[in-house]
């Protein structure tokens, strides 16, 4: 069975999407529609912008979303998923590709999500750190020991977890985790503590937008970040999307569950190949590839 997976923030690169725009009339039309919806020419920033331009949250999230969903669209009949999943922001891409959300509604929600998260970051200066080579349970216990907001944020693959929290809390956690034997514990260049309680203001803001948006039954099960389980129920999908902002991304468990349910071929749709690397660390026997147009 074939699973299609969609990357999240961090997969962006200068020039992303230009080849789609230049080679496909459908892609060009969708990109131009996006420029109108967003109120600025995101294509200029995607195709000609710098790394710094693309690191702005208001740009990063819509840019990755657009690259992913437009690539899925131009694949046409070659895009035949048995199941889909996305990492954090990528969950919105997966829902649009899986027909649970329209392109326009998905882009509006992603834009609102990005702006709400940026606002939450400014309210509570915070950050994230990657922890390599340590059992998840020890990382979880260490987060609880810190007398600051620090929580597991991304379960990316066995031995690779990202923690999220206040600046002071992350600094403290890094030192403790290193003393406990973590191979590496390094702060990430991100705007704030994504997937932590510090995103609560953004969750509240996004909930209103999601509640007012029409969701359909997707064409295949969507494995959601919050509980790593498949869903085709629009109401459950909505609730999980809202909870996602303050809950950890359970990517490892999502991939394990997809494989358990029959997935043996994973196609990454969007910029980069980060998810393929994570999937291979979870199960080296499955086939992984990038979507090709």
In a shared domain, residues 274 and 220: yes
Domain carrying residue 274: 2-122+197-290
Residues 103 and 54 in one domain: yes
User: Both 176 and 135 in a single domain?
Assistant: yes
Q: Are residues 148 and 76 in the same domain?
A: no
User: Cα–Cα distance between 14 and 107 in angstroms, integer?
Assistant: 20
Q: Is residue 192 part of a domain?
A: no
Q: 86-113, pLDDT tens digit by residue?
A: 999 999 999 999 999 999 999 999 999 9
Helix (H, G, I), strand (E, B) or coil at 222: strand
Digit-coded pLDDT (tens) for 149-161: 999 999 999 999 9
Does 163 share its domain with 204?
Answer: no
208, part of any domain = yes
Which of 51, 55, 93 is CA-nearest to residue 268? 93
**Are residues 203 and 103 part of one domain?**
yes
Q: 54-58, 124-128, 214-218 — which one is most confidently predicted on average?
A: 214-218
* Total of domains in the chain: 2
Are 176 and 234 in the same domain? no
Q: How far is CA 182 from CA 138, 206, 255, in A?
A: 10, 35, 24
Told to judge if 87 belongs to the known catalytic residues of this protein, a careful annotator would answer no
Q: 259: pLDDT confidence band, cut at 50, 70 and 90? A: very high
The tokens 């034997």 sit on which residue? 181
Torsion of CA 184, 169, 51, 10, to 10 degrees: 70
The catalytically annotated residue of 157, 195, 231, 240 is 195
**pLDDT (0 to 100) of residue 55:** 84
Largest CA distance in the chain: 55
On whether residue 229 sits in a domain, the answer given is: yes
What's the average model confidence in pLDDT over 178-201?
91
Contact of 8 with 86, CB cutoff 8 Å: yes
CA distance 263 to 241: 23
Structural domain includes residue 79: yes
Tell me the whole-structure pTM to 2 decimals.
0.95
Residues 118 and 224 in one domain: yes
112 and 134 in a single domain? The answer is no
- 290 given a catalytic annotation: no
Task: Out of 88, 111, 126, 231, pick the active-site residue.
Answer: 88
- Asked if 106 and 211 sit in the same domain, the reply is yes
* CATH code, domain carrying 235: 3.40.366.10
- Residue 158 sits in a domain whose CATH number is 3.30.70.250
Cβ partners under 8 Å of residue 41, min gap 6? 35
pLDDT at position 168 is 95
pLDDT above 90 coverage of the chain, percent: 88
Q: How far apart are CA 233 and CA 221, in angstroms?
A: 9
- pLDDT confidence bin for 66, thresholds 50/70/90: very high
């Amino acid at each position: 069975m074939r699973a299609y997976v969609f990357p999240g923030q961090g997969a962006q690169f200068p020039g992303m999407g230009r080849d789609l725009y230049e080679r496909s009339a459908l892609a060009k039309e969708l990109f131009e529609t996006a420029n109108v919806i967003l109120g600025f020419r995101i294509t200029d920033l995607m195709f000609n912008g710098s790394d710094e331009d693309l690191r702005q949250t208001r740009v990063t999230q819509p840019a990755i979303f657009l690259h992913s969903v437009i690539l899925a669209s131009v694949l046409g009949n070659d895009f035949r998923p048995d199941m889909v999943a996305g990492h954090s922001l990528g969950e919105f891409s997966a829902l649009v590709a899986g027909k649970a959300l329209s392109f326009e509604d998905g882009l509006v929600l992603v834009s609102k999500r990005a702006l709400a998260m940026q606002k939450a970051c400014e309210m509570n200066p915070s950050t994230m750190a990657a922890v390599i080579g340590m059992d998840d349970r020890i990382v979880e216990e260490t987060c609880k020991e810190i007398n600051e907001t620090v929580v597991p944020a991304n379960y990316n693959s066995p031995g690779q977890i990202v923690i999220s929290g206040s600046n002071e809390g992350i600094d403290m956690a890094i030192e403790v985790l290193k003393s406990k034997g973590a191979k590496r514990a390094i702060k990430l260049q991100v705007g704030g503590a994504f997937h932590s309680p510090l995103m609560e203001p953004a969750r509240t803001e996004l909930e209103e937008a999601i509640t007012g948006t029409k969701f359909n039954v997707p064409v295949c099960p969507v494995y959601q970040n919050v509980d790593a389980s498949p869903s085709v129920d629009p109401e459950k999908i909505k609730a999980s999307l809202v909870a996602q902002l303050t809950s950890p991304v359970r990517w490892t468990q999502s991939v394990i569950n997809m494989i358990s349910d029959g997935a043996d071929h994973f196609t990454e749709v969007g910029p980069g190949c980060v998810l393929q690397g994570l999937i291979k660390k979870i199960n080296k026997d499955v086939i992984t590839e990038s979507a090709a147009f």
